[in-house]
Amino acid sequence: MANEAPSFTYWHVYTDEEGISRQEQRHLTDFTEESMGGDSGSQWNNKLMRGATQVIFSELPADFDGDWHENPHPQWIVPLSGGWWVETMDGTRTEMRQGEFSFGADQGTLNEKGHRSGVLDNQPCRMMIIQFTEDERLRGGRPAPDELA
């Protein structure tokens, strides 16, 4: 493969040392070139996290109101259609649409406040959520998933 390894941008929602939820843009960069097997050509893969997971396909209705709450588990959230927004306790609000994604790990915030969320354009948002149900290193979002070995 002649191209350089890719870098994927994502939003990382986490809890700081004072219990305030925050979010920052981060990058997945640890890609390796490999085949998925057989006669398949090479592709860039980042095998980021392993462990017990639960995969959820979800649709937020057009009138969805995700008032203040924490993510139930550290989780990747990937919009498949439509869009959604997330506002953390520090006042940062981000919007994500198809092709963008975030890692939500704001457990342990002050008063379990976490974040607020909702849909964009008064349209339903379909998403895939991959929850990590047993890896305690991910709770609260420190370290970031791309820093774990």
55-90 pLDDT tens trace = 999 999 999 999 999 999 999 999 999 999 999 999
In this structure, how many other beta carbons lie within 10 angstroms of the beta carbon of residue 74?
A: 25
Q: What tens digit of pLDDT does each residue of 81-133 get?
A: 999 999 999 999 999 999 999 999 999 999 999 999 999 999 999 999 999 98
Q: What is the pTM of this model?
A: 0.88
Going by the DSSP 8-state scheme, the letter that residue 141 receives in this structure is: G
**117, 87 in Cβ contact below 8 A?**
yes
In this structure, how many other beta carbons lie within 10 angstroms of the beta carbon of residue 113?
A: 17
Say which residue the tokens 């925050």 belong to. 22
Token pair in block for residue 13: 């929602």
Say which residue the tokens 């869009």 belong to. 83
Q: May I ask the CATH class of domain 8-147?
A: mainly beta
CA distance 54 to 67: 23
